[in-house]
Structure 1
Amino acid sequence: MENLFGDTFDLDGEEAEVAVFADVILPVPIPKMFTYRIPRSLEKAIGIGYRVIVQFGRKKVLTGIIGKVHQKPPQAYEAKPILEILDEQPVVNPLQIKFWSWMAEYYCCHIGEVMNAALPSGLKLNSESKIQLNPEFDQQTSSFPIDEREQVILDALTQKDELAYEDCGKLLGLKSAHRIIKSLVLKEAILVYEQVREKYSPKVENFIRLKEPYASSKAELEKLFNTISKKPKQEEVLLKYLQEIPVFQNSTKNENGLNKKVFSEAGCSTSSLKTLVKNEVLEEFKVIKSRFEQIPSKDLEIELAPFQKEGLEKIKNQFESKQTVLLHGITGSGKTEIYIELIKEVLESGSQVLLLLPEIALTTQIVARLQKVFGSKMGIFHSKYSDNERVEVWQGVLSGRFSFVVGVRSSIFLPFDSLGLVIIDEEHEPSFKQFDPAPRFQARDAAIMLAWLHQAKTLLGTATPSFESYYNAKNQKYGYVPLNKRFGEAQLPEFVMADILADKKKNLLKLDFTRILREKIQEALNQQEQVLIFQNRRGYAPFTSCDECGWIPECEQCDVSLTYHQYSKEMRCHYCGFKDKVPQSCVACGSNKISTIGMGTERIEESLSLLFPEARVGRMDLDTTRSKYAYQKILEDFGAGNLDILVGTQMITKGLDFDKVTVVGIVDADRILHFPDFRSGERAFQQITQVAGRAGRRNRRGSVIIQSRRPDHFVFDQVFKGDYANFYLTEMSERQRFFYPPFVKNIKVTIKHKESQIAQKAANHLANLIKDIQVKKIVLGPEKSLIGKIKNQYLFDLLIKLDKTGNVPALFKLELRRCLEELNFQKDFKSVRIVVDVDPY
């Protein structure tokens, strides 16, 4: 038997002995692992966690991970052989596979989808179609005529063993050569196959060293200089090398060589360097280098305040009996210093530590502080890193180079084998939730499970706990440690309500800014202090509208209005990325009276520049932070005092610490407060408290000005008092009354289809199937989603509120999978897409 790679397998010889099989996790949405036969030649080199190449179906070649090795052949199909093993050591450990299995079961997805999310794309392989001549094809005897363009391909294949699809197009001067390739395949002139290549490539740098006999003999070196004395450029290259590398004092340095780029940076002749290498005076060689700068750790003594020391001891005491502890510390209480002390102790014991952060923006400041303490033993893992950088962190954890990792939600998938502590900073943050694609996990909850699998401890840190975590602490499931003081001389800020409607009536509202907020900003600028302005919407304006008839430009593919972006001069959909020109006239009535409604961060930035022309204004939102180091650059500029005012979305609300910020303005608090979500009150309390915590971080009291049309709302009163406990009790009574988390478990099922009627019909049918599941539950819907169409797909939602007691959730999920299979089995609903989201909000 021959596989796609041309290898042959002697099946008769192998069947004579007991066959060994492997269950392989594949990156496809199927509910189980697939079983493959391990060839005798690979048996000793294979095991759990190795990457392998397998054939899936007739044409696909996929990379999978070995999940289990056994001797039980599959009953439903004949096991195909594993084609190739890619690793000398496993890249995934058994604990990870156990974690993936739990995640697939808990979040109602497939283990292949979890694997796809877990592995950095640099560790996955991609298939690329290639063509080669069919060895059995003879053009002289073939009954099929070959035209001119087909002949060009065949002639090229006599010169080269293989061609890629795109190469064929270039040869023929066509965008696509698919039709011609298809014709050659039908004429049996060529074979199409998949060539699998690995994406990851290590960082390689070129080095130069002095060859023998010149490296060990001064006499030979002097002769060499006499020879090249009339070639000053070659002499310059050699002198530069000897200046950097003292070959006779330290032969090891010569062995290690000198980076080639040193010569170009010094202005040495490239051609002279090549000549010296060609004449075997110098030798060029390659060295694999880390993409991460080697930073030495410093033995910094961190002086904890008495209340911090007390908090640290309480955490340790709670860890004696509790797996998870909630550290409830007000903004500015110095939680990071407590984290550092705990991390030090765990690393000294030989275990690993994961510090989970909700936003990449947070990593810039906290990483700088942590690197001073932990140096190069600390790895950083987030989505702005390239594929190659992410693979290096993965391999650094595998090899033990990184025993401590700071990362965003995807870092829970790293190959830890001895976690001792997981810290989740800002544990309340909604950005810990992954919405698309599957697995749609909550990183905080998944990290707690990961810690449990490792028998590690978990610390949840926040100034405004999520109600779920606070509920668990109140019910003794988690330990609880409060920190109610700010570090050093820092004082809690002064809160000021600014009534938008009152100022509007008195004609005091200018460019959406109330009088009091304008005055406070001016006061800060006069004293060379800094200002943060928060608005939870990017773009220039949420939408544009016709003043005559009320027409609003909407996305062609989604049921949402287009957001106006002034800098790029376009209308943009924030759901599917659709872009359009800014309308000059109304398409409904023809009027040219088009106005922008509402305000985004772009418009606020422009307004501030007009109100305070002397101020240097910057903006931090998704549009300004798309590049890799954009976060860092903006924050460095602000921290260095190069900006006076920073406007931003929720990125600026948490974890940032700037000495000179004394004024924080929340431009439109109503937008946070009146969002259609049962958590809107909780989110508003958290966001306002968090952004307020950026004000007055040192010895000067800061001011927080909140602009609202409802200044008498009870949430504002609770924020001003800092009365989290009372606010929690008020909100929880409502949640208990109307069956919302944490008293029930929510599961949202979204049904999608390009035709509204089919989507609705499938949703109704699924709702009836779910209602028949015999567990204690409430089924709401189906109803049209809040945004009823996205990317030309119509959406309908079902919300299930599940009793949390016993094994009700697990039983329901098992039955739900059966219902989905039954729905998908029906001919009318085969093209319907269904998304299951556990803990959706």
Structure 2
Amino acid sequence: MSQLAKVGSRVVVEFGKSRVLTAVIVKIHNTPPPKYQAKYVQELLDIEPVVTASQLWLFEWVAEYYMCHVGEVMNIALPAGLKISSQSRIQYNPDFAHPELLSEQETQLMEVLLKEESLSYDEVGRFLDQKDINKTIKELVAKHAIILFEEVKDKYRPKIVKKIRLKRVFEGTEEILALIEKLEKTTKQQEVLLEYLGHVPINELHYKNKEGLAKSTLKAGDISESSLKTLLDKGIFEEFEIVVSRFDGEDLGSQAQMQLSEPQQKASDQIMDSFTQNEVVLFHGITGSGKTEIYIDLIQKVLDSGSQVLFLLPEIALTTQIVNRLRVVFGDAMGVYHSKFSDNERVEVWKGVLDGKFQFVVGVRSAIFLPFTNLGLIIVDEEHESSYKQFDPAPRYHARDVAIMLALKVRSKVLLGSATPSIESFYQAKNKKYGLVSLNVRYGDAQLPDIRLVDMKKERKDKTLVKEFSSELLAEMAQNLANKQQTIIFLNRRGYAPYLNCQECNWIGHCDQCAVSLTYHLAEKTLVCHYCGHKESVPKTCPDCGSTKVKAMGVGTEKIEEDLYEIFPEAKILRMDLDTTRSKNAYQNIIGEFEKGEVDVLVGTQMVSKGLDFDHVSLVGIYNADKMIHFPDFRAAERAFQLITQVSGRAGRRDQKGRVLIQTGSPQNRILQFVLQNDYVGFYESEVIDREGYNYPPFSRIIEITVKDVDQTLAHQAAARLAQALENQLGKTRVMGPEKALVERIRNKYLFEVWLKLEKDKMNIQATKAFLQKEIVNLITEKKFKSVQVVVNVDAV
């Protein structure tokens, strides 16, 4: 085995008596580890490596930079289908001949084993309703009733298609006509043959029969399955299997002839010119400027040069529409990689990249870990999006920043694209560390939308509100419906209502594990915690006082959807949020209906703001802008400007000018005024002054340290101890906290936060991280704090 082993190959390693893990060979040497006992490699899984040298380097860099273990990086980098699962299982012994020796419970278990083939230890425990099942297992083994085995299986299974074809002796014209005649007396068998010949004509049999016909296609012809089986048994047909791609599709590359407009072509040329001087280029193109067409032009150029391209998107929601557009151009040369795909589908893309089948991949943040061997360009679309940052579990990496590091390592280029760039990226571009290309006109001379602020204080004073919708917004929606135009209503809160409240005793439904109210979901008739996932049924009366006066307070997207149905009963309304898009094809179905014009109003959270392009949306309504602006976070202004600008950009494409109505109680707010003027640069210049004054990014690095424990006092003491140690080393100005987290209890653990603000130009970040890691180890190895959990989030967003 050692002679076949290669760096980047997977192996199975035993840990304990019954546990095995997947490992990746990083180095081959003869030096045993000084502190740890070497583990014996049970099995080599790959003759050829499935992980490249540059990936191994990247795993190490991510682990070091984001202060986690390299195993944690590999765990999220490798698709589940490439990781081995191990379970001790129990199987019925086919040689067992003495059922009279079994107890009643053992007999019932054996009957289950006959049906299920095998059971895991956990499954046996649940069936027997016993925690300790070793005695039962031991007795069954002694009676020779069962077989114990360790199941180790590779989760990846290639997609198999069963096909049917005629035996070669019937491929000639005379032979097939004679066969048709022979089957005249067995009508149903003849129908099967004729159905096959409908797909594989007689005059093409000599070269098409070898490929055969998918069994599912043949059966779709409403033929008799028993007759097909008879023909197989007679040796007239034969059945065979082939391995196929899960991404079958017509190669439409030749059909796509894309022509850039003059401004687009100029921007594309400027980006290519900038790449001669810069590794990273920021492309600031306003909403509707046609950034995707420019991306396609650049991708084609890189692919033509023989290099690979990775196109990162922040959300799965975006992949549906953009993938359809890219598929028309690049056909089956393009792979798609995101978490809504099955394990098998993701492994297929992984292996396709490794084998050179996919030169171009579109994916979400985890696609940055794919095994590219000749990467020429990484495009990070909507680079400002916080979705590129992983929060839990570790590594808490930012895909945009990892992409830049990977590109520097493999000598690739990175294009960051956004209509509303992050403050950090625009700062780097302004200071000449990144190239900067701007495109300030919409594609096809389309006009920017007309944005108006609706004063909700005045509406309330005049009593013109209807279910918290302003009279102005409802009038515009009614006009849109009459004109057969589409509307998007945006509110960044899902659910029916933020909470339930008793009008008699002021009871509010709270999660018993987290310090948050439970969100009311009408469709499911449940109260849900959006932090831990806890669910409970809606009480018919107040749990505290028994009153029936329990009301839903506040508004979520589900409530808006219901209210709009009441106001516009003739309208077709759809909702797009996390609750309506959980299934694999949910995004595609909702977007497809909306694109076809089958939906009048789309109600959604921030999903509707992200790069979607609809021809008939002429109105966007932003339900409540103030909640986004007045959020306790130093990035609140930036995120509010980005979200409002992005969702406003969905209005008015092609030949019509859109309208955007923003409901607010503060029309004079500076952020809204910048939105009105579509002035990103003005907003940036205003915001960066505040950031510098308070030493926030891009002038510093933020490291967020969260201390957790079920004991509130202990958690606070541990956080205070850590903060004091850091303050002694780094100084008071660089250490903030400890403070209670915004949500101070999650999953029954109390959370306290300590923040480090480290100046980029003064601090040795690497040395500071090393000191922090040392202090964390000192803390959690102290007997008093052994139950405390410490989570480090580098470059918190």
| Shorter-chain TM-score range | over 0.9
Change (3 A) 1:50 1:252: farther
Change (3 A) 1:745 1:254: same
**Number of the residue aligned with 2:580:** 624
In the alignment, is the contact (CA less than 8 A) between 1:247 and 1:254 conserved in 2? no
C-alpha deviation, 1:214, in angstroms: 2.8
Structure 1 residue 746 corresponds to structure 2 residue 702: yes
C-alpha deviation, 1:300, in angstroms: 2.9
In the alignment, is the contact (CA less than 8 A) between 1:440 and 1:838 conserved in 2? yes
SS of residue matched to 2:445: coil
Q: How does 1:294-313 map to 2 (within 5 A)?
A: 294-296=249-251, 297-298=253-254, 300-313=256-269
C-alpha deviation, 1:149, in angstroms: 6.5
Deviations 1:123-155 (A, max 9, x none): 111111125899xxxx9xxxxxx9736976999
C-alpha deviation, 1:82, in angstroms: 0.9
After superposing the two structures, state which structure 1 stretch, 828-837 or 628-637, moved more: 828-837
1:412 corresponds to which of 344, 352, 368: 368
In the alignment, is the contact (CA less than 8 A) between 2:12 and 2:21 conserved in 1? yes
2:194 corresponds to which of 239, 250, 260: 239
Mark the runs of 5 or more structure 1 residues left unpaired by the alignment: 1-41, 140-145
Distance in 1, Cα, partners of 2:617 & 2:177 = 64
State the one-letter code of the partner of 2:371: P
Distance in 1, Cα, partners of 2:113 & 2:300 = 63
Distance in 2, Cα, partners of 1:158 & 1:712 = 71
1:558 corresponds to which of 514, 529, 550: 514
**Number of the residue aligned with 1:114:** 73
Distance in 1, Cα, partners of 2:49 & 2:32 = 23
**Number of the residue aligned with 1:273:** 228
1:71 corresponds to which of 20, 27, 30: 30
Deviations 1:442-476 (A, max 9, x none): 11111111222221111111111100001101111
In the alignment, is the contact (CA less than 8 A) between 1:753 and 1:831 conserved in 2? yes
Deviations 1:745-765 (A, max 9, x none): 001111111221222222222
1:230 corresponds to which of 172, 182, 185: 185
**Number of the residue aligned with 1:805:** 761
**Number of the residue aligned with 2:85:** 126
After superposing the two structures, state which structure 1 stretch, 790-799 or 722-731, moved more: 722-731
Distance in 2, Cα, partners of 1:563 & 1:110 = 36
C-alpha deviation, 1:732, in angstroms: 1.5
After superposing the two structures, state which structure 1 stretch, 203-212 or 629-638, moved more: 203-212
State the one-letter code of the partner of 1:253: K
In the alignment, is the contact (CA less than 8 A) between 1:773 and 1:812 conserved in 2? no
Change (3 A) 1:653 1:217: closer
Distance in 1, Cα, partners of 2:112 & 2:464 = 78
Distance in 1, Cα, partners of 2:547 & 2:104 = 55
1:760 corresponds to which of 691, 709, 716: 716
Distance in 2, Cα, partners of 1:156 & 1:69 = 49
SS of residue matched to 1:292: coil
Structure 1 residue 463 corresponds to structure 2 residue 419: yes
**Number of the residue aligned with 2:609:** 653
After superposing the two structures, state which structure 1 stretch, 670-679 or 276-285, moved more: 276-285
Distance in 1, Cα, partners of 2:340 & 2:332 = 19
Change (3 A) 1:154 1:636: closer
1:291 corresponds to which of 216, 229, 246: 246
Distance in 2, Cα, partners of 1:643 & 1:501 = 31
**Number of the residue aligned with 1:179:** 132
C-alpha deviation, 1:183, in angstroms: 5.2
Q: What fraction of aligned residue pairs are identical, expressed as a percent? A: 49
Change (3 A) 1:507 1:155: closer
**Number of the residue aligned with 1:422:** 378
Distance in 1, Cα, partners of 2:393 & 2:317 = 22
Distance in 1, Cα, partners of 2:113 & 2:653 = 73
C-alpha deviation, 1:585, in angstroms: 2.6
C-alpha deviation, 1:229, in angstroms: 3.1
Distance in 2, Cα, partners of 1:295 & 1:563 = 45
2:57 corresponds to which of 95, 98, 108: 98
SS of residue matched to 2:719: helix
Structure 1 residue 334 corresponds to structure 2 residue 334: no
Change (3 A) 1:484 1:53: same
Q: How does 1:27-176 map to 2 (within 5 A)?
A: 42-131=1-90, 148=103, 163-165=118-120, 169=124, 174-176=127-129
**Number of the residue aligned with 1:515:** 471
Change (3 A) 1:767 1:341: same
State the one-letter code of the partner of 1:306: E
1:732 corresponds to which of 681, 688, 692: 688
Change (3 A) 1:188 1:254: closer
Distance in 1, Cα, partners of 2:317 & 2:694 = 36
After superposing the two structures, state which structure 1 stretch, 468-477 or 230-239, moved more: 230-239
**Number of the residue aligned with 1:603:** 559
Q: How does 1:419-818 map to 2 (within 5 A)?
A: 419-773=375-729, 778-805=734-761, 808-818=764-774
After superposing the two structures, state which structure 1 stretch, 301-310 or 320-329, moved more: 301-310
Distance in 2, Cα, partners of 1:598 & 1:581 = 19
**Number of the residue aligned with 1:838:** 794
In the alignment, is the contact (CA less than 8 A) between 1:150 and 1:180 conserved in 2? no
In the alignment, is the contact (CA less than 8 A) between 2:89 and 2:121 conserved in 1? no
RMSD after superposition: 2.6
Deviations 1:90-127 (A, max 9, x none): 11111001011110111111110111101111111111
Distance in 2, Cα, partners of 1:235 & 1:114 = 59
State the one-letter code of the partner of 2:213: L
Deviations 1:339-360 (A, max 9, x none): 1111111000000001111111
Change (3 A) 1:398 1:776: farther
Structure 1 residue 395 corresponds to structure 2 residue 351: yes
After superposing the two structures, state which structure 1 stretch, 536-545 or 611-620, moved more: 611-620
Aligned length: 787
Distance in 2, Cα, partners of 1:539 & 1:151 = 48
C-alpha deviation, 1:295, in angstroms: 2.5
Mark the runs of 5 or more structure 2 residues left unpaired by the alignment: none
1:370 corresponds to which of 326, 343, 348: 326
Change (3 A) 1:243 1:715: closer
In the alignment, is the contact (CA less than 8 A) between 2:12 and 2:20 conserved in 1? yes
**Number of the residue aligned with 1:33:** none
C-alpha deviation, 1:78, in angstroms: 3.8
C-alpha deviation, 1:689, in angstroms: 0.8
C-alpha deviation, 1:545, in angstroms: 1.3
Distance in 1, Cα, partners of 2:481 & 2:348 = 45
SS of residue matched to 1:350: coil
Change (3 A) 1:638 1:58: same
Change (3 A) 1:560 1:167: closer
1:214 corresponds to which of 170, 178, 189: 170
State the one-letter code of the partner of 2:410: H
In the alignment, is the contact (CA less than 8 A) between 1:576 and 1:790 conserved in 2? yes
Structure 1 residue 256 corresponds to structure 2 residue 256: no
Deviations 1:787-832 (A, max 9, x none): 1111111111111111223661111111222122222212222222
In the alignment, is the contact (CA less than 8 A) between 1:571 and 1:581 conserved in 2? yes
Change (3 A) 1:780 1:614: same
Change (3 A) 1:191 1:376: closer
In the alignment, is the contact (CA less than 8 A) between 2:726 and 2:772 conserved in 1? yes
Distance in 2, Cα, partners of 1:245 & 1:699 = 48
Change (3 A) 1:347 1:805: same
Distance in 2, Cα, partners of 1:812 & 1:334 = 43
